[in-house]
Amino acid sequence: MCRMFAAISTENIFPKAAHFLLDSEKSLIKQSCANPDRLQKDGWGVGFFKSGEVRIIKSRGPIFKEEDKVRKISGEADIFLAHIREASNPKKLPHKKLISQANSQPFSAQGFIFCHNGTLCIPDAVSSNLGGLKKNLKGVNDSEVLFWQIIKSLNAYGDPVTAIRMSVDEIETVWISVKKEYEKKGIATPYKGLNIILASKEALYALCLYPENSSKKAILTPSRPFGKMAYRKEGKTFIFASEPLDGGKWENLENGFILSAVKSKNEITLRKEKL
């Protein structure tokens, strides 16, 4: 299970992003190595928009061993995403096949940037419905399949919130047709967590969808379930995160809700709605 955060602002986001990525008391880099049994060691990446264009920087290595490289990232942007990876493996592949820059997140296409925390347990069944988009898969990461499924829904419906809803609906519909086949393999659910952050150059969208029966707890806030996302406003900035990034006050993004932060002129409008 991975960790991620994203921020949107009406001003340059890099100083705050660097703080939460590296220096805050519960920063992403501190989450990456806090628990030796749950190391986020399988790659990292950041994505942002510079002059309206997508920029992605990724690595196959552990972020806690590449801090110098991360500190060199700078620039001007008003939307920023970061992701650290503990690789899921629903295909039961050798671990070394999971680790590559192509399998690290974020993913991007068509002016969108995407991160996922969780496991899509039926990536082959879902990818078989991607049509012509299937050729764009570059790795073996189930999260990449989920990303291209959302792109397919975006192409069909236009609206990001509708696309997220329809993607979840399609996964559950596909599960109905393949359930017996996968249950023979010991897979009892189509996904274990669909915590998603999707960004365009004007907005951030976050879906919180995680198994509430899990005993896992957040890495640096052990009073929280592992999948419950958090968010808060800091001045002209909104931050979404897998878990709180410091000891300050954070709001909860409840299970089964989508949170949108949309930029218009010099304001950001926040909206929360049920999946």
Please give the full DSSP string across 159-197, using - where no structure is assigned.
-HHHHHHHHHHHHHHHHHHHHHHHHTTT--SSEEEEEEE
Would you report the helix, strand and coil content of the chain in percent, each value rounded to 5?
30, 30, 40
The 10s digit of each residue's pLDDT in 51-78 is 889 999 999 999 999 999 999 998 899 9
CATH, residue 153 = 3.60.20.10
Domain count for the chain, please give it.
1
- Of the candidates 44, 46, 54, 50, the one whose C-alpha atom is nearest the C-alpha of residue 109 is 54
Residue 189, domain extent: 3-274
Residue 213, pLDDT score: 80
Kindly report, residue by residue over 190-201, the tens digit of the pLDDT.
Answer: 999 999 999 999
Place of tokens 């017996």: 180
Looking at residue 51, what is its pLDDT? 82
| pLDDT per residue as tens digits for the range 138-172 | 999 999 999 999 999 999 999 999 999 999 999 99
Q: Give me the pLDDT at residue 212, please.
A: 82
* Stretch among 69-73, 88-92, 126-130, 265-269 having the lowest mean pLDDT: 265-269
**What stretch of H or E contains 67?**
helix 67-71
pLDDT for residue 81: 98
Calpha distance 172→249 (Å, rounded) = 35
**For residue range 72-92, what is the model confidence (pLDDT) as tens digits?**
998 899 999 999 999 999 999
Which helix (H) or strand (E) covers residue 154, if one does? helix 142-157
Amino acid at residue number 106:
P
pTM for the predicted model, two decimal places: 0.96
Report phi then psi at 9, rounded to 5.
Answer: -150, 165
d(CA 247, CA 245): 7
Q: In which band, very low, low, confident or very high, does the pLDDT at 1 lie, cut at 50, 70 and 90?
A: confident
Distance CA 21, CA 205 (A): 19
188 φ/ψ sector (left φ>0, alpha ψ -120 to 50, else beta): alpha
